Amino acid sequence: MKDTPGGVRVPLALSHQTLSGIPVEPVYGPEAVSPDLVHPPGEFPYVRGIHRDMYRGRLWTMRQFSGFATPEETNARYHYLLEQGQTGLSVAFDLPTLMGYDADHPNSLGEVGKCGVSICSLEDMETLFRGIPLGDVSVSMTINSPANVIWAMYLAVAEKQGVPYDKLAGTLQNDILKEFIAQKEYIYPPRPSMRLVTDTIEFATRYVPRYNPVSISGYHIREAGSTAVQELAFTLRDGIEYVDWAVARGLNVDEFAPRLSFFFNAHNDFFEEIAKYRAARKIWAELMRNRYGARDERSWKLRFHTQTAGCSLTWQQPYNNVVRTALQALAAVLGGTQSLHTNSLDEAYALPSEHAVTLALRTQQIIAHESNVASVADPLGGSYYLEALTAEIERRALDYIHRIDQMGGMIPAIERNFPQSEIADASFDYQQRIERDDQIIVGVNRYQSSSGEQIELLQIDRTAEQTQCEKVAALRRRRDRARVDAALNRLSQAAGGDQNTMPFLLDAVRVYATVGEICDTLRGVFGTYQETSVL
């Protein structure tokens, strides 16, 4: 199918559609230009960006997602990254932590420290941030179902460092809806999960005002195989759901909306991605002003982090991934991202090596300081093609949002498997296009080479699992068991009632209750969730 006999190849026709299947014309003209363009960057509805002077005022934050093995090893990597000029930290947790199990739980076997750092207790968090002043370095934490537990530990570390809560900056991912939709790292059912997220939003609003309590994420939706339009639409509709719950809690929209942040993917289709970011800003600004009556302009501004597309990286010819990542990162910058993670060339294989992650960071630094693209806000604004694509993506995303509204919101939509099925269909369609050679992946279904490129991979220390198991066992022997039990009892009562759980979580982590114990306590109150899988 792929190679004709003798290696003769028919020249390839270029695609007549975007990566997400939006038809594209050979050329665009002035009829495509939107009336929104009279609004410069920094003005509603912010199609062209949320700041008038964009990156001249402040460059995007270069934030490489990182974590592996033990807190000791990850702490060393953080010190290295900060020395290399990285400007914020982003913590990757391992699967047991993400699923609310301690390292020595039977389900953790073989998974400890593999996909991120293992955190069992406050003791591990103290080690993770040793020598890192939390008042100066912003910290993003990619965790969802146990996000409240991990955030309580982070706040407790800040207390020990003597840093007041209002000096803390960073982002908690804490986006449970996209877990039900795409990444599937959920513990409790949707409604109690939403209540816990709302607890964190309320607590942040009152006490940790510079911290973003939720990062409403399209990244994982895209990685699960969605189109760009689905990524945008489902993410913004998730955002609506969080706003609805926080408003129902009694918060004024302008109290918390300025601290909602977003997280998008940067995939291969250069213009489609830039158009997606521009449409995202416009839809969100209009939703916040018109649907929720937000009056503070900070509530209207969609701020977002971007990560280049992990799913676009190939196992074959891994050095090609450097080029893919550079193009994707450029799209994110031209689309006005506030922070950026560039993937490393070896990430189709493993967590990145120090060499590979440095090259990925250098890619951002070259875009920032050598290409000169950051000097002008929305430099592609007015491009006939880009404007037409922005309008088309907006139209298609709004259509999805209205359909989900009609289902009664995102939770009923999730319960009837609507976003999950849409994504499964899109990902199957994409794979079929690759199989048919309608979609070319260089090095995979075209331009293959037989000589393997050898790259050096990060080896996760096989003793990490044992070390973490021994540490948590020793902690359990050392701490005051009666105080732990009392704190967990109070947490259980608060969770069963309608109090905000955050103060009770803080009390539990301060006496070194573990992630597993706290999540088990909440499992006892809320139960667990099992999805009905759709193919």
Partner 1 sequence: MDKRIRVLVAKAGLDGHDRGAKVIARALRDAGMEVIYTGLRQTPEMIVNAALQEDVQVIGLSILSGAHNAIVPRVMQLLREKGMDDVLVLVGGIVPDEDAALLKQNQGVAGVFQPGASLDGIVQFIRSSLERTA
Tokens of 318: 């891994």
428 binds partner 1 (CB under 8 A): yes
Identified binder of partner 1 from the candidate list 91, 99, 158, 484, rule CB under 8 A: 99
- What is residue 182's three-state secondary structure? helix
Question: What are φ and ψ of residue 139, in 5° steps?
Answer: -125, 120
| Beta bridge partners of residue 141, listed in sequence order | 91, 172
Residue 108 or 127: which CB sits closer to partner 1? 108
Interface region with partner 1, contact rule CB under 8 A, candidates 12-20, 157-165, 217-225, 376-384: 217-225
Q: How far is the CB of 349 from partner 1 (least distance, A)?
A: 7
Interface region with partner 1, contact rule CB under 8 A, candidates 266-274, 294-302, 424-432, 484-492: 424-432
Burial tier of 473 (Cβ tally within 10 Å: 0-12, 13-18, 19+):
middle
Residue 107 or 489: which CB sits closer to partner 1? 107
Amino acid at 22: I
Of the candidates 179, 367, 401, 405, which has an alpha carbon nearest to the alpha carbon of residue 279?
401
315 binds partner 1 (CB under 8 A): yes
Whole-angstrom distance, CA of residue 262 vs CA of residue 337: 10
Using the structure block, give the residue that is written with the tokens 């913004």. Answer: 236
Identified binder of partner 1 from the candidate list 87, 161, 314, 500, rule CB under 8 A: 314
Q: How far is the CB of 10 from partner 1 (least distance, A)?
A: 19
316 binds partner 1 (CB under 8 A): yes
179 binds partner 1 (CB under 8 A): yes
Interface region with partner 1, contact rule CB under 8 A, candidates 4-12, 135-143, 345-353, 491-499: 345-353
Binding residues among 454-493 for partner 1 as defined by CB under 8 A: 457, 460
Interface region with partner 1, contact rule CB under 8 A, candidates 36-44, 100-108, 296-304, 336-344: 100-108
Identified binder of partner 1 from the candidate list 110, 131, 250, 497, rule CB under 8 A: 110
407 binds partner 1 (CB under 8 A): no
424 binds partner 1 (CB under 8 A): yes
Interface region with partner 1, contact rule CB under 8 A, candidates 146-154, 248-256, 290-298, 314-322: 314-322
184 binds partner 1 (CB under 8 A): yes
Binding residues among 360-399 for partner 1 as defined by CB under 8 A: none
Interface region with partner 1, contact rule CB under 8 A, candidates 127-135, 151-159, 374-382, 423-431: 423-431
Q: How far is the CB of 518 from partner 1 (least distance, A)?
A: 18
Q: What sign has the CA pseudo-torsion 458, 462, 467, 470?
A: positive
Of the candidates 460, 453, 142, which has an alpha carbon nearest to the alpha carbon of residue 321?
453
User: Cα dist. 27→12, 33, 40, 332 in Å?
Assistant: 19, 13, 25, 23
Size of the chain, expressed as the number of residues it contains:
535
Burial tier of 262 (Cβ tally within 10 Å: 0-12, 13-18, 19+):
buried
Q: At what angle do helices 481-496 and 515-526 cross, to 10 degrees?
A: 30
Identified binder of partner 1 from the candidate list 411, 441, 442, 511, rule CB under 8 A: 441
Identified binder of partner 1 from the candidate list 33, 76, 348, 473, rule CB under 8 A: 348
Q: Please, which residues have CB within 8 angstroms of residue 114's CB and are 6 or more apart in sequence?
A: 68, 94, 95, 460
4 binds partner 1 (CB under 8 A): no
Using the structure block, give the residue that is written with the tokens 């994707």. Answer: 328
Of the candidates 267, 374, 404, 278, which has an alpha carbon nearest to the alpha carbon of residue 325?
267
Whole-angstrom distance, CA of residue 487 vs CA of residue 476: 15
Residue 252 or 427: which CB sits closer to partner 1? 427
Residue 201 or 458: which CB sits closer to partner 1? 458
Residue 346 or 507: which CB sits closer to partner 1? 346
Residues near partner 1 (CB under 8 A), total: 42
Identified binder of partner 1 from the candidate list 225, 239, 381, 516, rule CB under 8 A: 225
323 binds partner 1 (CB under 8 A): no
Using the structure block, give the residue that is written with the tokens 């207790």. Answer: 121
End-to-end Cα, the chain, rounded Å: 26
Interface region with partner 1, contact rule CB under 8 A, candidates 163-171, 237-245, 372-380, 441-449: 441-449
Interface region with partner 1, contact rule CB under 8 A, candidates 75-83, 146-154, 182-190, 360-368: 182-190
Identified binder of partner 1 from the candidate list 64, 66, 108, 148, rule CB under 8 A: 108
Amino acid at 515: V
Whole-angstrom distance, CA of residue 192 vs CA of residue 59: 38
Q: How far is the CB of 533 from partner 1 (least distance, A)?
A: 4
Interface region with partner 1, contact rule CB under 8 A, candidates 99-107, 243-251, 361-369, 467-475: 99-107
Whole-angstrom distance, CA of residue 27 vs CA of residue 415: 42
410 binds partner 1 (CB under 8 A): no
Residue 311 or 511: which CB sits closer to partner 1? 311
Q: How many CB atoms lie within 10 A of CB 376?
A: 14
Question: What are φ and ψ of residue 93, in 5° steps?
Answer: -100, 155
- What is residue 461's three-state secondary structure? coil
224 binds partner 1 (CB under 8 A): yes
User: Cα dist. 438→89, 333, 381, 435 in Å?
Assistant: 39, 29, 30, 8
Helices then strands, each counted (H, E), the chain = 20, 10
Residue 337 or 353: which CB sits closer to partner 1? 353
Amino acid at 199: D
Residues at the site binding partner 1, with contacts judged by CB under 8 A = 1, 95-96, 98-99, 101, 107-111, 114-115, 179, 183-185, 223-225, 311, 314-316, 348-350, 424, 427-428, 431, 435, 441, 444-445, 457, 460, 530-533, 535
